[in-house]
Structure 1
Amino acid sequence: METHRAKEITDSPNMIPVTYNGTPVFIQHVDEKNETARIYPLDSPEEELEVAVRGLNEE
Protein backbone atom coordinates (compact mmCIF):
# COMPACT_ATOMS: atom_id res chain seq x y z
CA MET A 1 0.00 0.00 0.00
CA GLU A 2 1.14 3.53 -0.62
CA THR A 3 1.58 5.92 2.30
CA HIS A 4 -0.98 8.45 1.06
CA ARG A 5 -3.63 5.70 0.77
CA ALA A 6 -2.92 4.46 4.31
CA LYS A 7 -3.39 8.05 5.51
CA GLU A 8 -6.70 8.31 3.62
CA ILE A 9 -7.90 5.10 5.27
CA THR A 10 -6.87 6.38 8.71
CA ASP A 11 -8.77 9.62 8.13
CA SER A 12 -11.88 7.92 6.73
CA PRO A 13 -15.03 7.81 8.88
CA ASN A 14 -15.77 4.37 7.38
CA MET A 15 -14.10 1.09 8.34
CA ILE A 16 -12.03 0.07 5.32
CA PRO A 17 -10.76 -3.54 5.44
CA VAL A 18 -6.96 -3.71 5.67
CA THR A 19 -4.72 -6.71 6.33
CA TYR A 20 -1.12 -7.20 7.40
CA ASN A 21 0.33 -10.66 6.70
CA GLY A 22 -3.21 -11.89 6.11
CA THR A 23 -4.51 -10.60 9.48
CA PRO A 24 -7.26 -7.96 9.55
CA VAL A 25 -5.87 -4.83 11.22
CA PHE A 26 -6.81 -1.30 12.25
CA ILE A 27 -4.46 1.54 11.29
CA GLN A 28 -4.02 3.91 14.23
CA HIS A 29 -1.45 6.30 12.82
CA VAL A 30 0.61 6.79 9.66
CA ASP A 31 4.09 8.31 9.75
CA GLU A 32 4.40 9.69 6.24
CA LYS A 33 8.06 10.69 6.68
CA ASN A 34 9.20 7.18 7.65
CA GLU A 35 6.51 5.36 5.62
CA THR A 36 5.41 3.36 8.66
CA ALA A 37 2.09 2.76 10.36
CA ARG A 38 1.03 1.90 13.90
CA ILE A 39 -1.51 -0.92 13.66
CA TYR A 40 -3.18 -3.58 15.74
CA PRO A 41 -5.03 -6.79 14.87
CA LEU A 42 -8.81 -6.31 15.08
CA ASP A 43 -9.08 -9.24 17.48
CA SER A 44 -6.14 -8.12 19.68
CA PRO A 45 -6.17 -4.33 20.20
CA GLU A 46 -3.46 -4.62 22.87
CA GLU A 47 -0.94 -5.97 20.32
CA GLU A 48 0.20 -2.73 18.68
CA LEU A 49 2.86 -2.96 15.99
CA GLU A 50 4.89 -0.44 14.00
CA VAL A 51 5.13 -1.73 10.42
CA ALA A 52 6.16 -0.58 6.96
CA VAL A 53 3.15 0.81 5.10
CA ARG A 54 4.11 -1.24 2.03
CA GLY A 55 3.26 -4.41 4.04
CA LEU A 56 -0.40 -3.35 4.39
CA ASN A 57 -3.04 -4.54 1.93
CA GLU A 58 -6.45 -3.04 1.27
CA GLU A 59 -9.05 -5.76 0.84
Structure 2
Amino acid sequence: MDVNRVKQILSSPSDIEVRYNGTSVWIDNINEDGRTATVHLRGPLEERSEVEIEELKEI
Protein backbone atom coordinates (compact mmCIF):
# COMPACT_ATOMS: atom_id res chain seq x y z
CA MET A 1 0.00 0.00 0.00
CA ASP A 2 1.19 3.56 -0.46
CA VAL A 3 1.01 6.49 1.95
CA ASN A 4 -1.66 8.31 -0.08
CA ARG A 5 -4.03 5.33 0.18
CA VAL A 6 -3.42 5.13 3.94
CA LYS A 7 -4.39 8.82 4.21
CA GLN A 8 -7.59 8.12 2.23
CA ILE A 9 -8.46 5.18 4.49
CA LEU A 10 -7.85 7.27 7.63
CA SER A 11 -10.17 10.03 6.39
CA SER A 12 -12.86 7.66 5.11
CA PRO A 13 -16.06 7.12 7.11
CA SER A 14 -16.22 3.57 5.66
CA ASP A 15 -14.91 0.46 7.38
CA ILE A 16 -12.09 -0.56 5.03
CA GLU A 17 -10.41 -3.83 5.89
CA VAL A 18 -6.62 -3.69 6.00
CA ARG A 19 -4.32 -6.59 6.78
CA TYR A 20 -0.78 -6.82 8.05
CA ASN A 21 0.86 -10.25 7.71
CA GLY A 22 -2.58 -11.76 7.12
CA THR A 23 -4.08 -10.25 10.28
CA SER A 24 -6.85 -7.65 10.15
CA VAL A 25 -5.73 -4.33 11.67
CA TRP A 26 -6.95 -0.77 12.24
CA ILE A 27 -4.63 2.01 11.10
CA ASP A 28 -4.25 4.58 13.89
CA ASN A 29 -1.98 7.08 12.18
CA ILE A 30 0.89 7.65 9.78
CA ASN A 31 4.18 8.24 11.58
CA GLU A 32 6.32 11.32 10.97
CA ASP A 33 8.81 9.42 8.81
CA GLY A 34 6.05 8.85 6.21
CA ARG A 35 7.13 5.23 5.74
CA THR A 36 5.55 3.62 8.80
CA ALA A 37 2.13 3.61 10.44
CA THR A 38 0.85 2.73 13.89
CA VAL A 39 -1.77 -0.03 13.78
CA HIS A 40 -3.65 -2.21 16.24
CA LEU A 41 -5.43 -5.54 15.90
CA ARG A 42 -9.16 -5.58 15.30
CA GLY A 43 -10.87 -7.07 18.32
CA PRO A 44 -10.47 -6.89 22.08
CA LEU A 45 -6.68 -6.48 22.14
CA GLU A 46 -5.50 -2.89 21.83
CA GLU A 47 -1.81 -3.73 21.36
CA ARG A 48 -0.28 -1.21 18.98
CA SER A 49 2.57 -1.84 16.56
CA GLU A 50 4.61 0.27 14.20
CA VAL A 51 4.71 -1.29 10.72
CA GLU A 52 6.01 -0.44 7.25
CA ILE A 53 3.19 1.08 5.15
CA GLU A 54 4.25 -0.96 2.12
CA GLU A 55 3.51 -4.17 4.09
CA LEU A 56 -0.17 -3.22 4.61
CA LYS A 57 -2.69 -4.80 2.24
CA GLU A 58 -6.20 -3.53 1.53
CA ILE A 59 -8.81 -6.30 1.27
TM-score greater than 0.5 by the shorter chain? yes
Taking structure 2 as the reference length, the TM-score comes to: 0.88
Return 5+ residue gaps in structure 1 as ranges: none
Q: Does structure 2 retain, via aligned residues, the 8 Å contact 1:3–1:32? A: no
- Across the two proteins, how many residue pairs are aligned to each other? 59
How far has the Cα of 1:30 moved from its partner? 1.2
Q: Superposition RMSD on alpha carbons, in Å? A: 1.4
Q: Does structure 1 retain, via aligned residues, the 8 Å contact 2:27–2:37? A: yes
Which ranges of 4 or more aligned residues in structure 1 deviate by more than 2 Å?
Answer: 31-34
**Identity of paired residues, percent?**
39
Taking structure 1 as the reference length, the TM-score comes to: 0.88
Return 5+ residue gaps in structure 2 as ranges: none
